[in-house]
Amino acid sequence: MISRRLGRALDWRFGGVVGRLDSLRADAARLQAQIEECNERVAGLVASVEALRQQTAALARGTAAASEQAGEIWEQRTQPLLRTLVDEDAANRRRLYDLRASRGYEDPFRDPDPLVSIAVATMGRALLFDRALPSLLAQTHSNLEVIVVGDAVASEIGERLAALGDPRVRFANLTQRITAHGDPRRHWLVGSTMARNEAARLARGGWLVHFDDDDHLRPDAIASLLELARTRRVEVAYGGVEEHHPDGSQRTLSGFPPRLGSFSWAGALIHGGLRFFERELVAAHLEIPGDMYALERMLRAGVRFAALEALVVLDYYPSTLWEPPGDS
């Protein structure tokens, strides 16, 4: 009796345990199925992220290629068009044609003793008085005027020029100095622009020379260039340049057509009617020296040039070699 009751109790208890174990096994199976489902979803998300990453990379490559292509289009098409507008090539050609058709165009060629204006821009360097001015006033062609324009220099410069007592020398001074570009090197390319333009505006001669305040013009330079301009009927006549270095060495620069390295406006005689070719501050942003930018525009307009290649007319002292860094 006792044994039967004990057996029934144990069966009941074991049956409950077995039932619980079966329930746990069912729960574990459901959990396992859920885990497998989550793994499948995670795998799907990973695949989606990878596909998105590949699409993003492809889009980035496409954007870079499109940007590069747009840059090439800008360089090849748009930029030259904008340069043409800035350079005023068409307008300059029309101005040149109008000049040649005007009454006064022939006067500089016909006048037996024409007035030559020498425009000098200065930062107030001592070489203006020690080298440049003496060479200009000693020209064998004496019918000339020297217009010195200071780039906002000290008043003493004007006083020293007045003390020379030479009626051929005139002085004007700008009231402020313009910084054309934040980069000192680029500003240097066009540093004398405003003073040069003002000096040319004040010039009254039929012929014009743009001179520097630290160079030397040889005595027969203007007379020789005048003869060349008249003989060849050209609007710009220029000669050779002797470049002087601080170590005492020299080299001669010459050649035709005029270009950087073989030409200097300080050794050139210009028809006075070409004063509309002004120096431009934008040359700093184009990274072109202001004098060479003016030369490029003249050549593209069709200005007539001739060279005395065998004759040196100018002694040139490059400021980049002779002046310590940071000097004006």
Band the pLDDT of 38: cuts 50, 70, 90. Answer: low
Alpha-carbon span 123 to 212, nearest angstrom: 10
- Spatial separation of the C-alpha atoms in residues 148 and 293, rounded to whole Å: 22
Instruction: Give the relative orientation of helices 290-301 and 89-101 as an angle to the nearest 10 degrees.
Output: 60
Q: DSSP for 98-158?
A: HHHHSGGGGHHHH-SS--EEEEEEES--THIIIIIHHHHHT-S---EEEEEEESS--HHHH
Q: Where are the alpha helices (DSSP H) in the chain?
A: 2-73, 79-87, 89-101, 107-110, 127, 133-137, 155-163, 184-189, 193-202, 221-232, 283-286, 290-301, 319-322
User: Tell me, what's the pLDDT at 71?
Assistant: 64
Half-sphere exposure of 149 (CA within 13 A, CB side): 24
> What angle, 0 to 180 degrees and rounded to 10, lies between the N-to-C axes of helices 290-301 and 79-87?
90
Hey, how many other C-beta atoms are within 10 angstroms of the C-beta on 14? Answer: 10
Mean pLDDT of 64-84: 66
- 248-274 mean pLDDT: 95
Contact 235/270 with Cβ under 8 angstroms?
Answer: yes
Instruction: pLDDT band for 328, please (50, 70, 90 cuts).
Output: very low
Predicted local confidence at residue 9, as pLDDT = 63
42: its two tokens: 């995670």
Higher-confidence residue: 48 or 304?
Answer: 304
Q: Is 272's pLDDT higher than 80?
A: yes
Give the amino acid at 297. Answer: R
The share of the chain scoring above pLDDT 70, in percent, equals 85
Q: Can you read off the two tokens belonging to residue 290?
A: 């202001």
* Mean pLDDT for the stretch of residues 99-110: 97
Cα–Cα dist 267/189, whole Å: 19
Q: What is the pLDDT of residues 214-252, one digit of tens each?
A: 999 999 999 999 999 999 999 999 999 999 999 999 999
Report the percentage of the chain scoring pLDDT > 90: 64
pLDDT band at 49 (very low <50, low <70, confident <90, very high): low
Using pLDDT thresholds of 50, 70 and 90, give the confidence band for residue 78: low
Residue 150, pLDDT > 70, answer yes
Residue 215 exposure: Cα atoms within 13 Å on the Cβ side: 25
